[in-house]
Amino acid sequence: MLHAVLWTHALIPMPMPARMPALQSAGPRGNVRCAAEAAVPAAVSLIAGSLGGAIGVGVAYPLDTLKTKAQSSAGSTMPSNPFALAAQIFRAEGVAGFYSGVSTTMLGQALIKGALFFVYGFARTFTTGLLGATTLALCLAAAFSGAVSSLVMCPVERVKCVMQARPAGAFANPLACIAELVSRDGASGLIFRGLGATVAREMPACTFYLVGYELAKAALLASGALPRTAALLLSGAIAGAASWIPVYPIDVVKTQIQVELDGGGDETDSSFVGQARRLWRTGGFLAFWDGIGPKLARAIVNHAVTFLVFDALCGLWLRRGL
């Protein structure tokens, strides 16, 4: 079982670097109580997070494709109903239409989730050292982890968005898409276009994601109402949904920034504010929520699987003492 800290009578497990000292009890008021157990080394968190991220995104990828196509077609005649949209994709492109860019995204998510969990372990060591085992310390560590992981996430999602928004077969493979992006938008366009929007999304999203998972898992395991596997799946699903609902309009704008091969051309305002204004003019308030149904379904499936795999691998390391 993972290292755990008890906030206000709730067990909050989280992998940490192996040498992090156990947190001490805060006394009779019960603000921080300790249930220190064996810590998971950061390297194990890196590997477990990488595998969990890759598997989770692979399982949920068709739903992510629906989300991206819905977002990128805001204001067009493409169906907004996810079932009608799925039927149209299947008729036009077949099953392959739902998996365009999946290999790059799985590899990218392996890097992203590995970096996220790895950085979170170290950041939490630092913030709890300064602030104690408080919710504020957790939130600061999670937000910092989101900012750092955005550096990996931005180019991965640039390729994903471009490939998903186009018909299957538009690019022979992800490398062909990358080559076209570099040719038309430069290396900086591949790596950095949409970075500001990605950071703006990921800092709050990762806070809801990581802290939400810890709180949900603590409550569900403490209640004993569900078997452990079911509790982990439900905790991951809750964390996934909680991390997307507050930041979804930012993600819609980010998709608009990243989806064009040339960044929209010289005559297009590709800034965050420019794209947000364009969305408002063409679709109003609802344009910022295009694709929310598939996104929530994808988030629930993806993150339930991600955290289940992550927890299982960390538990395996602890049980076997590898």
Domain boundaries, the chain: 41-320
How confident is the model at residue 315, as a pLDDT? 87
pLDDT for position 101: 79
pLDDT (0 to 100) of residue 74: 60
**Does pLDDT of 17 surpass 70?**
no
Q: At what angle do helices 42-72 and 292-320 cross, to 10 degrees?
A: 170
Q: What is the pTM of this model?
A: 0.78
Binned at pLDDT 50, 70 and 90, residue 200 comes out as very high
H-only helix segments in the chain: 42-72, 82-93, 102-131, 135-165, 174-192, 195-223, 228-244, 248-258, 272-283, 292-320
pLDDT score for 41: 79
Decide if pLDDT at 60 tops 80: yes
Q: What is the CA radius of gyration of the chain?
A: 20
Q: Distances from the Cα of 280 to the Cαs of 14, 199, 253, in angstroms?
A: 40, 22, 10
Sheet with 10-13, strands from edge to edge, namely: 10-13, 4-7, 32-35
Q: Pick the range with the lowest mean pLDDT from 8-17, 83-92, 240-249, 256-265.
A: 8-17
pLDDT score, position 321: 59
Across the range 94-105, mean pLDDT stands at 84
Pick the more confident residue, 140 or 134. Answer: 140
Mean pLDDT of 36-55: 79
Q: Is residue 134 within 8 Å of residue 197, measured between CB atoms?
A: no
Buried b (16+ CB within 10 A) or exposed e, 107-137: bbbbbbbbbbbbbbbbbbbebbeeeebbeeb
Average confidence score pLDDT of the chain: 83
Contact (CB, 8 A) for 192 and 206: no
- What percent of the chain has a predicted confidence (pLDDT) above 70? 83
Report the amino acid identity of residue 107: L
CB 19 within 8 A of CB 280: no
> What is the architecture, at CATH level 2, of domain 41-320?
Alpha/alpha barrel (1.50)
The answer to whether 158 touches 194, Cβ cutoff 8 Å, is yes
Q: Is the pLDDT of residue 86 over 50?
A: yes
Angle of CA points 21, 22, 28, to nearest 5°: 140
- Give the residue with greater pLDDT, 56 vs 263: 56
Range with lowest mean pLDDT among 160-174, 182-196, 293-307: 160-174
* pLDDT in the model for residue 77: 63
Cα–Cα distance, 74 to 238 (Å, whole number): 27
Q: What is the share, in percent, of the chain residues with pLDDT greater than 90?
A: 51
